[in-house]
Amino acid sequence: MSEQQLYELHASICQTLANPKRLEIITHLRDGEKTVGELTEAMQISQANLSQHLALMRQKGIVVSRREGLNIYYRLSNPKIIKACDLMRQVLLENLESGAVLVETARA
Amino acid sequence: MSEQQLYELHASICQTLANPKRLEIITHLRDGEKTVGELTEAMQISQANLSQHLALMRQKGIVVSRREGLNIYYRLSNPKIIKACDLMRQVLLENLESGAVLVETARA
DNA sequence: AAACTACATTCAAACATTAGAATATTCAAT
DNA sequence: ATTGAATATTCTAATGTTTGAATGTAGTTT
């Protein structure tokens, strides 16, 4: 496994976190597993679109799922994901406080 | 500032980290500031493209720069960025070990 | 087995990102 | 003022991402 490949995989994980809805999913899974239905109710998103995001996160190893009857439960694959997200949010908040970042509706 | 906006800004930071060359830049800046020239030499990348990446990282508050004569020095804006990257790399490595992720040339 | 519930997949249009090529800017030295 | 060195910007083609709409699948109930 080359350094290059590691950087690509690492970037691929970041890419998976680089979406507001997916970050919100992570927040909802922070305290334990949830079904797709629960997530759909808790979030402002269509079931189909939620499923798309979950599929991507599953592919990248961010979440894992298990079926129980009709329901499918999702959970984070690794608690370090929460830590990483928290750290990035801290960076964000500190940048906001120091006025280092203009709030340009997020994507400029 | 709404939750939504925070998720968007957070996603925007992740997006900025979601590129192999930019992650490599972060690695090179891990132990202190470097000039654009030093980075260009250390990496397999054109000066123009490096400059594009640095401009993006500057906009998002990931790096800051200062000029000294002809050279421009870049450094990470916040050491927590290193911590966050390290955590994500740990998640990646643990996923690889558990075989939870297929190495599909990174982007599938 | 038909109908239902919960979830997933596929397709396509809109939109965003990437990197090379060319060009511009900034500062320093002469 | 010109030249040279270091870095930045602009443009553009190729590629990747996102989302709604439509449809598919797996398990359950009757």
Which listed CATH number (3.30.350.10, 1.10.10.10, 3.40.50.2000, 1.10.8.10) goes with B3-77? 1.10.10.10
State CA B2 to chain mean position distance. 26
Average pLDDT over residues B93-98: 91
* Percent of chain A at pLDDT exceeding 70: 92
Which residues lie across from B73 on neighbouring strands? B35, B66
Q: What is the pLDDT of residues A90-108, one digit of tens each?
A: 999 999 988 766 564 333 2
Q: Please report the pLDDT score of residue B99 as a whole number.
A: 75
Residue spans per domain, chain B: 3-77
Q: What is the pLDDT of residues B16-61, one digit of tens each?
A: 999 999 999 999 999 999 999 999 999 999 999 999 999 999 999 9
Q: How does DSSP classify residue A30?
A: T
Which chain B residues in 86-105 lie under 8 Å from chain A, judged by CB atoms?
A: 87-92, 94-96, 100-101, 103, 105
Tokens of A58: 């599953």
Nucleotides of D under 7 A from a protein CB: 4-10, 16-23, 26-28
Q: What is the pLDDT of residues A15-28, one digit of tens each?
A: 999 999 999 999 99
Q: Which residue has the tokens 């990174």?
A: B106
Question: Within 10 A of A14 (CB to CB), how many other CB atoms are there?
Answer: 25
Q: Please report the pLDDT score of residue B98 as a whole number.
A: 85
CB contact under 8 A, A10 and B103: no
**Nearest 5 degrees, angle CA A52-CA A54-CA A59?**
100
> Which of B32, B89, B29, B70 has the alpha carbon at shortest distance from B53?
B29
Q: Which residue has the tokens 């919100």?
A: A24
Q: Rounded to whole angstroms, how far apart are CA atoms B53 and B19?
A: 9
B82 shares contact with chain A (CB less than 8 Å): no
Rounded, the Å distance between the CA of B62 and C1' of D19 is 29
Q: Which amino acid is at B91?
A: V
| Mean of all residue pLDDT scores within chain A | 92
